[in-house]
Structure 1
Amino acid sequence: MFEPYLKHWNLRVDGAPIVTPGSHLLPVRLDGAPAMLKIALDDEEKHGNRLMAWWAGEGAAQVYGHHGDGLLMERAMGRRSLMQMALAGEDDEVSRIVCASLARLHAPRAAPLPPLLSLGEWFQALRPAARREGGVFRRSLATAEELLATPREQVVLHGDIHHDNVLDFEQRGWLAIDPKRVMGERGFDFANLICNPDLPTSADPRRFTRQVEVIAQAAGLERKRLLQWVLAYTGLSAAWFLEDGEVASAEHELQVAELAIRALEGAV
């Protein structure tokens, strides 16, 4: 799989392959400099590759080449990890770092837009779960419909921002990888940072309350609107997890949704 791309860009292998559900990655050297070769296996990853190229290294890893299903980009060589920082109690700093990275990603570009989906199309996946499960799913869908009917600040979104998708690129700072192809209100992109199911503390009420405040301030977002996006997104995420049979992850997202509901009920 890698061989045609290694020849195309005259690359030297510099590590073991990394296999994910949607792509195969290989550390390489390009003219002696570290780089990462990514081969997209599905449509979502292929569209994500196009978006990475469109960002042109501003807020995201620099793309050196895009050929067929292959993407050649700079490799994160820094030793810091946002997940490790969050687990060590540095949530505030992590949230501010990600907010700054998203501000760069959300900035307008002069280049023509790559193919994108709307948030409305994404949230269609929540409807079957709301009909079948009711409860929090129904509340989440109603909130999503309210948000989508009153759009604000439309931008090209990352779509899957979390602690392991913003990496340490040393002198270049913290940069994003692995985007989805979606456009919509910028507030959506901050929800997953709060409810990331891979972070064990994301359902902790004290952590939740604190990070809502930190992110709202750092990103210049209205607190209530951010909470609404958290509620909408956690329902959508839980629906996706149920589709994949990942019940524990879905339950985790619903716990965070309940936190958002309680916070919204107490909002002025």
Structure 2
Amino acid sequence: MVLEPPERLTRTVTAWEGEAGRRWLARLPETVAGYLDRWGLTAERVFAAGGQISMIVLVRTDDGTPAVLKVGMVNRETAQEHAALACWGGHSAVRLLRADPEQGVMLLERLHADVSLRSLAEPKAMLEAAGVLQRLWVPPGAGHPFTTVEEYTGELVPLLRERRERAYAQDARPLVDEALADREHLVGTASEAVLLHGDFHHGNVLAGDRLPWLAIDPKPLVGERAYDLAWLVRDRLATLAAQPGSRAAARRRLAKLADAVEVDPERLRGWSRFRAVEAGVWSLSVGDTADAELLLEFATWL
């Protein structure tokens, strides 16, 4: 069976990864077919609303068990996804059944892909999300393969400084300077190192059968909990921005999340600003001005 990549995947990989992405997309149908055969899998259908740089195929194993074949581009953020899932062993995260890390291929337990925490009202979703995230924060183990927050954000610093000088970022320069200062202070005073999800938001927590909610799609790092929680602070940002008193609402959300998981609110505020500004300037660099403006405005609220 020849399965073609969905339009969404083709669009994002082409836009984000350029020529390397186009070459990967050209090989993708053959790669998927090879793993279906090699691992004794029967394809049911491609999940069109799947990953932004990965193809998701709903499959059954040779004994009829429903599963998911995930074939993704390997980059700095995704290279250790399999290692994080193995470390968690299905505890509050999707269970890894089989992997070929060098090729970015994983066989995963099947969850309810159409039911994420976004299906819940925000207060309930935030409560469930905080519980899942806390259970993921485990010691990474001696000799772990994961990049640290200090290393990862250190690589972002020169990119952020270079983009700061571009014409598109002229109005954002004061925010960039504040974000860089936040990052320097935070990495210089960090005192904990746990395994982090790295990309934790409501859309990356799906309903399961073993447990009510399970995390998917980690971009694992090792560092302090406030870094991981920062992504959750800005979840459902468009909805947050549309409501009256959005600035005060954002600050209340930050305070509630910090209190719920016993994280220093000032450290959470700093990482929330840094991550929002970095993402906002990246969005400017790829011409996504709507997202950029929203992210940078959010950073000013904090």
User: What TM-score comes out, normalization by structure 1 length?
Assistant: 0.85
Q: CA deviation at 1:117?
A: 4.5
1:6 and 2:48 correspond:
no
Cα contact 2:238–2:294 (8 A) shared by 1: no
Equivalent residue, structure 1, for 2:55: 24
Task: Structure 1: state its 5+ residue gaps.
Answer: 261-268
Q: 1:172 aligns with which of 211, 214, 232?
A: 211
Residues 1:29 and 1:193: Cα distance change in structure 2 (over 3 Å): same
Cα contact 2:74–2:104 (8 A) shared by 1: no
1:65 and 2:98 correspond:
yes
Q: CA deviation at 1:58?
A: 1.7
Equivalent residue, structure 2, for 1:95: 126
Structure 1, 250-259 or 150-159: larger mean CA deviation: 150-159
Give 1:1-268 correspondences, 5 Å limit. 1-18=31-48, 20-30=51-61, 31-43=63-75, 44-67=77-100, 68-77=103-112, 80-85=115-120, 90-110=121-141, 112-122=143-153, 123-124=156-157, 125-132=159-166, 133=170, 134-196=173-235, 199-203=237-241, 204-260=246-302
Q: CA deviation at 1:253?
A: 0.7
Task: Structure 2: state its 5+ residue gaps.
Answer: 1-30
Equivalent residue, structure 2, for 1:264: none
Secondary structure of 1:45's aligned partner: coil
Alignment partners' CA distance in 1, 2:275 and 2:85? 23
Cα-to-partner distance string for 1:5-25 (whole Å, 9 max, x where unaligned): 112221121222446441111
Alignment partners' CA distance in 1, 2:146 and 2:86? 12
Alignment partners' CA distance in 2, 1:147 and 1:117? 13
Cα contact 1:25–1:38 (8 A) shared by 2: yes
For the aligned residue pairs, the C-alpha RMSD in angstroms reads: 2.2
Cα-to-partner distance string for 1:33-62 (whole Å, 9 max, x where unaligned): 221100122323333233223322122100
Q: CA deviation at 1:74?
A: 0.8
Alignment partners' CA distance in 1, 2:165 and 2:193? 29
Q: Say which structure, 1 or 2, has more relative contact order (CA 8 Å, 6+ apart).
A: 1
Residues 1:167 and 1:249: Cα distance change in structure 2 (over 3 Å): same
Identity %: 31
Q: CA deviation at 1:172?
A: 1.5
